Amino acid sequence: MSVIRKYCCIHAGKCFLDGALLFQSEQEKAKEFLAELYREIKPGYPKFFKMDVLAKAGFLAAELLMKGTEPVDDRKTGLFFANACSCLDTDRHYQDTIGEAYFPSPSVFVYTLPNIVLGEICIRHRIFGENTFFVAPEFPVSQLRRYTEQVFADSGLERALVGWLECEGNTCEVMALLVEKQGEGIEFTDENINRLKR
């Protein structure tokens, strides 16, 4: 049975790692809160400040989950995430850059797909395994768990980052898990995932 090795929740100006409060801020806007969290955990990755909010949220969750883990073959780690609004916030921002003169911003356009966050994580952690980004009206706990288990059974993947990345307006809701095919940890079940959500 697969296990949850580590988990991270980010919401309402707070960041939890394995259930313990890691960081808290009075900052109400997601973009500013994520910048403060970045400065707190100090990953040393200046490209962070060019990312959209969705990519920043996923990047920081992945940083916290991957820190201190044993290296595995880079083709044996996957990423499976979902959200409800895709990259609608960035799409709106991109539309705003077009304006009357029709000069859209290429630096914003690059983030107009929700799976770009997965690319940012893969680049940072040199992950070459399977990755998928789902769009669903709410956190599809059972679907993501079953999908992860199926990929573990059908491929050579040994671990995966799995979760929910929802960023819209000034809000950001993240529930991310580091799941391993086998080992020590919390049993990877729908009940346990729902219990770990804050």
pLDDT in tens, the chain (198 residues): 899 999 999 999 999 999 999 999 999 899 999 999 999 999 999 999 999 999 999 999 999 999 988 877 889 999 999 999 887 677 777 777 787 667 777 777 666 677 899 999 999 999 999 999 999 999 999 999 999 999 999 998 999 999 999 999 889 999 999 999 999 999 999 999 999 986
**Residue 112 has what pLDDT?**
64
Across the chain, how many H-helices and E-strands are there?
Answer: 7, 8
DSSP code, position 85: S
Spatial separation of the C-alpha atoms in residues 34 and 146, rounded to whole Å: 30
State the pTM of this model: 0.91
Return the domain boundaries, the chain.
Answer: 3-196
Written as six digits, the tokens of 185 are 């940890």
CB 179 within 8 A of CB 162: yes
DSSP 71: P
Question: In the structure encoding, which two tokens stand for residue 59, read together?
Answer: 């990047």
Please give the Cα distance from 188 to 125 (Å, whole number): 23
Query: In this structure, are residues 167 and 30 in contact, taking their beta carbons and an 8 Å threshold?
Result: yes
What are phi and psi for residue 197, nearest 5 degrees? -65, 140
End-to-end CA distance of the chain: 24
CATH number assigned to the domain covering 3-196: 3.40.47.10
Beta bridge partners of 170: none
| pLDDT value for 101 | 65
Cα 122 vs. chain centroid, distance in angstroms?
11
Cβ atoms 196, 175 nearer than 8 A:
yes
pLDDT at residue 28, rounded to an integer: 85
Q: DSSP H helical segments within 46-197, as ranges?
A: 53-66, 88-98, 106-109, 116-125, 141-154, 190-196
